[in-house]
A = this chain, B = another copy of it.
Amino acid sequence: MKNTAICAGSFDPPTLGHFNIIERGLKIFDTIIVGLGINLAKQPILTVAERLDLLKQILKNHKNVEVVSFDGLLTAFARAKNCRILLRGIRNMSDYEYESQMALANKALYPELETVFMMTEGQYSHLSSTFIREIIASGGSCAGMIHPLVEKMLVRKLRK
Binding site for B on A (CB under 8 A): 2-3, 24, 27-28, 30, 72-73, 75-76, 84-85, 90-94, 96-97, 100-105, 108-109, 114-119, 122-123, 125-128, 131, 134-135, 138-141, 144-145
Min Cβ gap A45→B in Å is: 12
Select which of B2, B75, B141, B145 is within 8 A of A28 by beta carbon: B2
The residues of B that contact A145 with a CB separation of less than 8 Å are: 108
B125 pairs with A76, CB closer than 8 A: no
The residues of B that contact A97 with a CB separation of less than 8 Å are: 92-94
The residues of B that contact A90 with a CB separation of less than 8 Å are: 96, 100, 117
Give CA–CA (A118, B139) in the complex, Å. 28
Give CA–CA (A75, B138) in the complex, Å. 11
Closest to A145 in B: B108
Min Cβ gap A119→B in Å is: 5
**Given that A114-B118, A118-B117 are contacting pairs, would A144 and B101 also be in contact in the complex, using a CB cutoff of 8 Å?**
no
Q: Please tell me how many copies of the chain the complex holds.
A: 6
Give CA–CA (A53, B52) in the complex, Å. 45
The 6 A-B residue pairs with the shortest CB-CB distance, nearest first, are A122-B122, A104-B126, A117-B117, A72-B138, A105-B126, A73-B138
A125 pairs with B122, CB closer than 8 A: yes
The residues of B that contact A100 with a CB separation of less than 8 Å are: 90, 92, 119
A123 pairs with B122, CB closer than 8 A: yes
**Given that A108-B144, A138-B72, A144-B108 are contacting pairs, would A115 and B119 also be in contact in the complex, using a CB cutoff of 8 Å?**
yes
B72 pairs with A139, CB closer than 8 A: yes
The residues of B that contact A140 with a CB separation of less than 8 Å are: 73, 75-76, 109
